[in-house]
Amino acid sequence: MSSFEFDDIGPLKTLELYFPRSGFKAIVVIDNVSLGPSIGGVRVSRDLTIEEVKRLARTMTMKNSVAGLPHGGGKAGIVADPTSAEKEKYFRLFARAIKDMDEYIPGPDMGSNEECMAWIYDEIKRAVGLPEEIGGLPLDKLGATGFGLSECAEVACLYAGISLRGAKVAIQGFGSVGKATARFLSEKGAVLVAVSDTKGTIYNLDGIDVGELITVKEETGSVINYKRGSVMSCDDLFTTPCEILIPAATPDVINKENVNRLRARLIIQGANIPVTIEAERILHEKGIISVPDFIANAGGVIMAAMEYARKSEKEAFSAISERIKKNTGLILEKTFKEKILPRQAAEEIARERVLRAMRYRGDI
Ligand code: NAD
């Protein structure tokens, strides 16, 4: 989305909070609350801008809406060094400043984690992504987002004419999302053939043992130390022969430079914005399905919303499965019927739901 002041959805509020004695500032953007109180992460970074937080808050509106959650979209940023020794103080001061802003529920994001959410919860009794000990569902440990990606792949394979059992899979990134995705996909019979991290790519067309690769990554720090495979460069991951490609690390990695060299027949977007808009158009013209990030990687926020509603781990997993499968089918049906990009189909569905809710609430 290009830079904007506001449109027919939001934002409702943008706030800059200054903490002069402690020497930091924070930004809160509440984009839309017609579906319910907004949920969105607290990002900690030294160079955050209001524009960036606005874009992230809008993404949360779309993601929460299309996932059918009773939550709007919001986002916050603490403009400070994420490794600062003063982190707890920043979070507690930030929490006190947003105490009465009950239309915003903070969650973890880049630079924050469950401990930070515990500090906020301790101050104002309002946060998601909490530690297990105080009622949280540990979404990274449970692999909520990776599970959702594997459920999405199951449905998308039907539209791409691929049998998931035996399908060759390549994954960029082997952190929380990449590892869980590999684990759940291999349980469904898919074969992991290539995985990359910042050090390089490990490749074996006969299949990589997921459990063993997780141990190698945890013990040695990189997937390239897995013995039964060839080591290639990070970029080679994208051109390895496979049926399903899952970018689960950084933005814009599939772009006009490499899109025509991809050999996958289906792309499931695990990271946020891993495919440029231009590359999405080219993939669409070539008949390669690319399921957009905010449909495919919604498992984490669905689990966070279930935690907020005090649901169990089992209920959270079944909500992720049901919602992601239904939405993947819905947007791919619309894509084929209306001959539009999957992202456009997803945005239209998300936007319509928000606008309908705004009408019920007399916001129009
Ligand atoms: P993480 O930090 O746990 O893991 C990131 C992995 O990517 C690491 O293995 C790292 O080595 C690898 N990586 C980084 N740069 C790379 C590069 N250039 N080439 C290859 N590998 C590279 O992060 P995560 O929680 O797994 O999140 C991954 C992405 O998914 C991020 O974009 C995040 O915003 C997005 N996301 C995460 C969640 C979640 O639940 N954690 C939910 C939605 C979206």
> Looking at the predicted structure, is the pLDDT value of residue 330 above 50?
yes
Query: Ligand 1 centre and the CA of 188: distance in Å?
Result: 22
pLDDT digits (tens, 9 = 90+) for 238-283: 999 999 999 999 889 999 999 999 999 999 999 988 999 999 999 9
Strands in the chain per DSSP E: 13-19, 24-32, 38-45, 73-79, 104-108, 168-172, 191-197, 200-203, 230-232, 244-247, 266-268, 289-291
Rounded distance from Cα 272 to ligand 1 centre (Å): 9
Annotation marks residue 75 as catalytic: yes
Give CA torsion, residues 130, 182, 177, 335, to 10 deg. -120
**By alpha-carbon position, which residue is closest to atom 18 of ligand 1?**
198
Residue 140 Cα, ligand 1 centroid: separation in angstroms?
11
Which domains does the chain show, CATH number per domain?
13-55+75-136 (3.40.50.10860), 144-299+326-348 (3.40.50.720)
**Residue 114 Cβ < 6 Å to ligand 1:** no
Ligand 1 pocket member 175 (CB < 6 A): yes
Pick 3 or 244 by higher pLDDT: 244
CB proximity list for 268: less than 8 A, separation 6 or greater: 149, 152, 153, 156, 244, 245, 246, 291, 296
pLDDT in tens, 147-162: 999 999 999 999 999 9
What pLDDT is recorded for position 140?
87
Question: Rounded to the nearest whole angstrom, what is the distance from the C-alpha of residue 178 to the centroid of ligand 1?
Answer: 7
pLDDT of residue 1: 45
- The number of the ligand 1 atom at minimal distance from the alpha carbon of 274 is 32
Task: Provide the 3-class DSSP secondary structure of residue 232.
Answer: strand
Shortest-distance Cα residue to atom 33 of ligand 1: 271
CA distance 300 to 136: 13
**Where would I find the H helices in 79-172?**
87-97, 114-124, 139-142, 144-160
- For 80, list phi and psi in degrees, rounded to 5: -165, 170
Q: What percent of the chain has pLDDT over 90?
A: 92
Q: What pLDDT is recorded for position 4? A: 67
